[in-house]
Amino acid sequence: RTSRRWRALGSRCACLCWSWTTPTCTSAAGSTSVNRPTRGKPMSFSALFSVDSAGACFSSCSPKVCIVGSGPAGFYTAQHLIKQHVHVDIYERLPVPFGLVRFGVAPDHPEVKNVINTFTQTAKHSRCSFYGNVNVGKDVSVQELQRAYHAVVLSYGAEGNRTMGVPGEGLAGVYSAKDFVGWYNGLPSCRQLSPDLSCETAVILGQGNVALDVARVLLSPVDMLKETDITQPALEALAHSQVRRVLIVGRRGPVQVAFTIKELREMVNLPGTRPDMVEADFDGVTEALKDLPRPRKRLTELMLKTALQTPGETEQERRDQASRTWGLRFFRSPVEVLADPERHRTAGIRLAVTRLEGSGEAARAVLTGDVEDVTCGLVISSIGYKSLPIDQSVPFDSKSAIVPNTMGRIKQAPGLYCSGWLKTGPTGVIATTMNNSFDTARSLLDDMESGVLDLSAAKSGSQVITALLEQRGVKPVSFSDWEKIDRVEMSRGEASGKPREKLLTVEEMLHVART
């Protein structure tokens, strides 16, 4: 489907001319008549391509799009665009790609990380280039990217933490789940976290998949973790951990939990552990089952079985031998982190008792006025990630921590798009991000086709950006450079019986990449 008819310039000439003084091509390849585009109107996407008599598509002047961020959102957006003859350059702050697939997915979930194989195929496509070690907003501005590309897609995710906003949050022993996960997954900025695991009880605030990931890592037998890509410092710390009890606390009830049945089943079956539930938390839940959608119903049934049913002989024997416990605590909201007598470390947490107003997933937690104190030495807040503004030129809603957008089109910013958590907030799983990113790519392609994006002007893309970076002393890491890092990590992992041993500092990554 083309909005204008173009005659091919012949197999000897793969160029389309955007401006000329006569309506005839006078290139050395030969003279072929072409239709002159209407002056003053933007060139449509489909008009960029010419097809010769043999059906070959010439796209030497293909649209250039820049994507900021190389996590799932960035790669899925790129994947959709390159299929439509768009050239994509991906810029990443770290020397290594894949974002939360590398630094967020639990080490004992290697099957989830298999998506890296698909992203690698995208990165190696002839119309895709990777530029790691480039901090957009610092090394190069968004406005500079806009001048170099036909469109810019922001997909840099949510690297900030949502705070609890309660007294004592800054005490030693209080961590965000994002930082704790980053620590055991090798995120360079979290390398120095060194959490104190000398206490018996840990409290995790939040009841999503990340909360259960953290609980599982805290309680897993070290021999299980040794076979994953968890970092060596984290493995050593967990081997000496004194944590024997983990409570996973939520403001609402069993019907409103955010984790999925897969994560709950892993907790139920975790070797060396037994569940510790409060039966009263499940009052009325059995009666509510009939009104729940099937996935939620199956999840709730498993919680009910775990909490209320008498286990069989084999399961009872397993529980009797368990040395560690975990439990879900409902209708509780943090009020204050309690300090030890010296006021230096966490000694407990004060929880407000709540009740629900409304029903189902829309139910709201309200305070009852009662409180209870839980003794603990470790508090991990898993109440959500949040995006941060990247550049003053980009609109940002600080209240919702997203870039205001319509179907991925950033409002009041022509040529700027967003995908992933920056677009929607930190919700869903990788498949959710995939669909979200494809939607953004479709919006961008629609704008190319309709002429909303002006493709008539040639854009220099990475050529001018790499020149700017060189002037500023920034040397990007290519995808082949990343593959050097990958090989070293896998080699080190093989030597210790692990799938990989991650490099933990940017400096070490750059050294390997440039060797």
Contact 94, 71 (CB under 8 A): no
Q: Hunting for tokens 């894949």 — which residue is that?
A: 98
> What are the φ/ψ torsions at residue 477 (nearest 5 degrees)?
-100, 125
Find out whether 469 is annotated in a ligand binding site: no
**CA nearest 78: which of 454, 409, 417, 427?**
417
CA 319 to mean position of chain CA atoms: 35
Contact 390, 142 (CB under 8 A): yes
> What are the φ/ψ torsions at residue 9 (nearest 5 degrees)?
-90, 10
CA distance 50 to 198: 68
Find out whether 408 is annotated in a ligand binding site: no
Find out whether 20 is annotated in a ligand binding site: no
Find out whether 166 is annotated in a ligand binding site: no
At residue 159, the 3 state secondary structure works out as coil
Beta bridge partners of 140: 136
Find out whether 248 is annotated in a ligand binding site: no
Find out whether 207 is annotated in a ligand binding site: yes
Q: What is the DSSP letter of 428?
A: S
Find out whether 159 is annotated in a ligand binding site: no
CA distance 327 to 295: 22
Q: How far is CA 286 from CA 243, 282, 304, in A?
A: 33, 8, 8
Find out whether 316 is annotated in a ligand binding site: no
Let me know if 362 is exposed, middle or buried by CB neighbors in 10 A (0-12, 13-18, 19+): exposed
User: Which H or E run contains 237?
Assistant: helix 232-239
- Length in residues, the chain: 515
CA distance 75 to 180: 25
Find out whether 394 is annotated in a ligand binding site: no
Helix count and strand count (H, E) for the chain: 17, 20
CA distance 229 to 77: 27
Find out whether 227 is annotated in a ligand binding site: no
Find out whether 246 is annotated in a ligand binding site: no
Find out whether 92 is annotated in a ligand binding site: yes
CA distance 260 to 303: 11
Compute the chain's Rg from CA coordinates. 27
> How many CA atoms, within 13 angstroms, populate the side-chain half-sphere of residue 236?
4
Find out whether 136 is annotated in a ligand binding site: yes
Binding site listing for NADP(+)? 207-210, 251-252, 263, 428
Binding site listing? 73, 92, 100, 136, 207-210, 251-252, 263, 421, 428-430
Binding site listing for FAD? 73, 92, 100, 136, 421, 428-430
